Structure 1
Amino acid sequence: MILVENTVDLEGPPLDFYYINEYKPAPGINVINGITTGCECADCPAEKCCPKEAGFILAYNKKKKLKIQPGLPIYECNSFCRCGPDCPNRIVQKGTPYSLCIFRTNNGRGWGVKTLQKIKMNSFVMEYVGEVITSEEAERRGQFYDNQGNTYLFDLDYDSDEFTVDAARYGNVSHFVNHSCDPNLQVFNVFIDNLDLRLPRIALFSTRTIKAGEELTFDYQMKGLQILTLLLQEVWGTSRFCCSLM
């Protein structure tokens, strides 16, 4: 359930925004690569479950909470796997599990998103979706968005910089999530029915326990090499990390 709340002014939700639950690919872009096989596990995780076949560890623990570090990919079981819907390796594909509220902020930041339920640390919260476009088209749109003073472009830079997600006109609740240099959500790349490394799905997980009524935020620039930098800082024992709003 997603509510909309405005106790600040008379501004209504954007009229030119269309709500979608999955990527909307531009012509010529295929976000489903025709995968035809899945794991044979009757009870995941098993010896040859999807993450291990891809060369990575299972991303979730027995309580279905994230157990991997930022920068590592998540490989979930797909539509051809033998395991059922209760498989502990099917999390992001089930969609947002919490009741959220799109609300009008009272400090001039426009709309924001808050949770109506308590969210435990390392829990999946929402997926970032929108139009999947080429980096060339993103460059063109970016110039227009910069003139407007806002942007919803998210580079899919896990393996390359060929594609970008644009959530300006088509997206879900993540369209309204604000930036923070001290965010409570973290970005992870997810692969399910598409194993093309250029086109990961983008999932947002909680970095700590989030109280009911608290605003949800993520770092707009915490992507690609910056996630690797954060991992290195953790190894070196450096806790300070500065960022700036795009």
Structure 2
Amino acid sequence: MAENLKACSVCCKSSWPQLQDLCRLEQLQCRALGITRRNLGDFEVEYLCDYKRVRKEEFYLVKWRGYPEAANSWEPRKNLRCRGLLKQLHQDLARAPGGPVQPGPRGLPARAVSYLVQKAEQRRALRHWEQLLNSTRSHRGRITVENEVDLHGPPRDFVYINEYKVGPGVNLTPVAVGCECQDCMAEAAGGCCPGASHHKFAYNEAGQVRIRAGLPIYECNSRCRCGADCPNRVVQKGIRYDLCIFRTGNGRGWGVRTLERIRKNSFVMEYVGEIITSEEAERRGQVYDRQGATYLFDLDYVEDVYTVDAAHYGNISHFVNHSCDPNLQVYNVFIENLDERLPRIALFATRLIRAGEELTFDYNMHGTGPPAPWLSPLSPVRWGTSPPPPPRFIVLSPTVDPVDAESTRMDSNFGLAVGGSPRARGRIECKCGAAACRKYLF
């Protein structure tokens, strides 16, 4: 039996830094962990939790990584080689509740110390959440998280997913055929996958969408002869830009901004969640109404049969905010499943988006151009202390030319779903800050 166990190994649940801290705590040297006699006495500062001045010399109360708070010690500025943490402490003190805080010979006021500790705990929780998001994502683009506005930590009961989660009572039918193209753009056989459905090829050579908003996109699938580099495979490759989930400073809750430049008409992200039946959406909608927030969105392109619920299962689009002048646009995409009742929802850039700019879409789109939105991620913070029940909203499209009939059908059938039943609309103040802001969401 023992012979069979020689090749066995068990993954350690402790991280590399935790093991290094344990070695230092027990005064043990370990070559494999990089703990030697030379650096055995080097300890890492986890965060700074107090600050004082004594005879013009600065001292900081240090929380040492891997040690309990009882081991905290006051250290002179000259002993600390953590410039980033020092800068962060003074920035936190400048933003502390009640205004900038100045230290005394005995340290900071108790409220300021409490705030510093809470900010440190929050940052640790957000770093852990960021690591979890990036270990879960299957797309190339990395995700960062930051909150320099308040003490909110990671959202509770939210699970990051990369594609639709199929709920009870929902059956996806895998695509049965694919294209026979040698080159889907230059030598498309029978119009490739879009042509088989009597639609136009959606992308140009750079992978930018070139059809008008509202028209469906048919991408190549797993049964097609073309490979992964096919120009008709864009949405299925996932998010390729580095994005940041950040806390907004004007009461809009979490938001998303890009860390890279995004070209006009480029695919940015897909909206994913749990696909549920309309009956289940009705039940959940009543619960969400009482909570004052909902993420339900009807997929009723041809029939009002299914709804996407992104309340507990979703991706980074869960956090995208509204704007009356948005830089993202909705398109309907079909890839592995051609059931028109179950499109995939993709967001493309409406214009050049610069690095650092917030990503937004219009919660209340009208007219024959862009399709109507789904119900976006509204949090109780955005609605105030007494949130009104979110409305069901259906876009009414005016008469258009026969050429745009397909687009109009899509536009008019995208609606905000709240339990599948109409509700009285309250006037919700808009905080997007756009020059052309309509002042109210609904």
Q: What letter is aligned with 2:157?
A: D
Q: What letter is aligned with 2:145?
A: V
Corresponding position of 1:41: 181
Out of 202, 205, 228, the position equivalent to 1:85 is: 228
- Whether 2:326 is the aligned partner of 1:179: answer no
Partners in 2 of 1:202 and 1:114 — Cα distance?
A: 19
Corresponding position of 1:135: 278
1:217 is displaced (CA, Å) by 0.9
1:147 is displaced (CA, Å) by 2.7
Corresponding position of 1:9: 150
1:56-75 alignment runs, 5 A limit: 56-75=199-218
Q: Which structure's residues are more often strand, by fraction?
A: 1
Counterparts in 2 of 1:103 and 1:71: CA distance versus 1, 3 Å: same
Corresponding position of 1:26: 167
1:127-206 alignment runs, 5 A limit: 127-206=270-349
Checking the alignment, whether the CA contact within 8 Å between 1:230 and 1:241 is kept in structure 2 is no
Identical positions, percent: 67
Checking the alignment, whether the CA contact within 8 Å between 2:169 and 2:276 is kept in structure 1 is no
Checking the alignment, whether the CA contact within 8 Å between 1:70 and 1:231 is kept in structure 2 is no
Checking the alignment, whether the CA contact within 8 Å between 1:184 and 1:217 is kept in structure 2 is yes
Partners in 2 of 1:105 and 1:196 — Cα distance?
A: 38
Q: Which structure's residues are more often helix, by fraction?
A: 2
Counterparts in 2 of 1:188 and 1:34: CA distance versus 1, 3 Å: same
Provide the aligned length of Structure 1 versus Structure 2.
Answer: 239
Q: Secondary structure at the match of 2:244?
A: strand
Q: Secondary structure at the match of 1:57?
A: coil
Counterparts in 2 of 1:243 and 1:145: CA distance versus 1, 3 Å: farther
Checking the alignment, whether the CA contact within 8 Å between 1:59 and 1:67 is kept in structure 2 is yes
Checking the alignment, whether the CA contact within 8 Å between 1:38 and 1:81 is kept in structure 2 is yes
Counterparts in 2 of 1:242 and 1:38: CA distance versus 1, 3 Å: farther
Partners in 1 of 2:285 and 2:348 — Cα distance?
A: 26
Partners in 2 of 1:71 and 1:155 — Cα distance?
A: 16
- Whether 2:359 is the aligned partner of 1:219: answer no
Partners in 1 of 2:395 and 2:184 — Cα distance?
A: 32
Q: What letter is aligned with 1:39?
A: C
| Deviation beyond 6 Å, 4+ runs, structure 1 | 240-243
Partners in 2 of 1:67 and 1:228 — Cα distance?
A: 22
Q: Secondary structure at the match of 2:359?
A: strand
Counterparts in 2 of 1:112 and 1:122: CA distance versus 1, 3 Å: same
Checking the alignment, whether the CA contact within 8 Å between 1:70 and 1:227 is kept in structure 2 is no
Deviates more, 1:139-148 or 1:109-118: 139-148
Counterparts in 2 of 1:127 and 1:79: CA distance versus 1, 3 Å: same
Checking the alignment, whether the CA contact within 8 Å between 2:169 and 2:277 is kept in structure 1 is no
Please say which structure displays the higher CA radius of gyration.
2
Counterparts in 2 of 1:227 and 1:65: CA distance versus 1, 3 Å: farther
Gaps of 5+ in 1: none
Counterparts in 2 of 1:231 and 1:13: CA distance versus 1, 3 Å: farther
Counterparts in 2 of 1:241 and 1:147: CA distance versus 1, 3 Å: same
1:221 is displaced (CA, Å) by 3.8
Corresponding position of 2:37: none
